[in-house]
Amino acid sequence: MRKYNSDYLEIGVTFTGPEQQPKPQCVICYESLSNECMKPAKLRRHIETKDPEYKSKSLDVFKNKLGELKTSRKTITKHCGANVNENATLAYYKMAQLLAKCGKNHTMGEELILPSETIVCKRILGDAAAKAIGTVPLSNNTVQR
């Protein structure tokens, strides 16, 4: 099991999951990679191919992005529970990014995007993901892994 190194933030990578089994997560597009990708060369490859416009940004930019990611995580936990499905989390992030691109404000996100995300989370991704990986069925208001 590879460990996360805080230096990886310099190439735009944080981690997700438990500290003993961390998975690298991109702070730009929020995609998470497998634990085997927790190597500077592979992580750098991600940013160079997926987020090329960020490949020579400063650590401060990535710190800001990490801050946004943490805020999103809290919001998701609040709305969907602690063990939220990874795909649903990613779907939320993507929606939040789209919203940001459209220039909509945060209030609109709370009023429109979060309820939609909860629907997606419960109705579509939750079922599909649960079926796909053969895990536990959904509880009332939590999408479980």
Q: Which residues bind Zn ion (CB under 5 A)?
A: 26, 28-29, 50-51
Question: In angstroms, what CA-CA distances link 45 with 1, 37, 39, 49?
Answer: 20, 10, 10, 6
Contact 138, 122 (CB under 8 A): yes
The token duo for 67 is 């801050």
CB atoms within 10 A of CB 59: 13
Structure tokens at 110: 């709370």
Residue of closest CB approach to Zn ion = 26
Question: Which tokens sit at 6?
Answer: 């805080």
Closest to Zn ion by CB, 100 or 124: 100
Nearer to Zn ion, 97 or 144 (CB): 97
CB of 122 to Zn ion, least distance (A): 26
Smallest separation, CB 124 to Zn ion (Å)? 23
CB of 134 to Zn ion, least distance (A): 28
Q: Which is nearer to Zn ion, 43 or 121 (CB)?
A: 43
CA–CA distance, 86 with 12 (Å, rounded to integer): 19
- Rounded to a whole number of angstroms, the minimum distance from the CB of residue 13 to Zn ion is 8
Q: Which residue lies nearer to Zn ion by CB, 26 or 114?
A: 26
| CB 91, CB 125: distance < 8 Å | yes
Q: Report the residue count for the chain.
A: 145
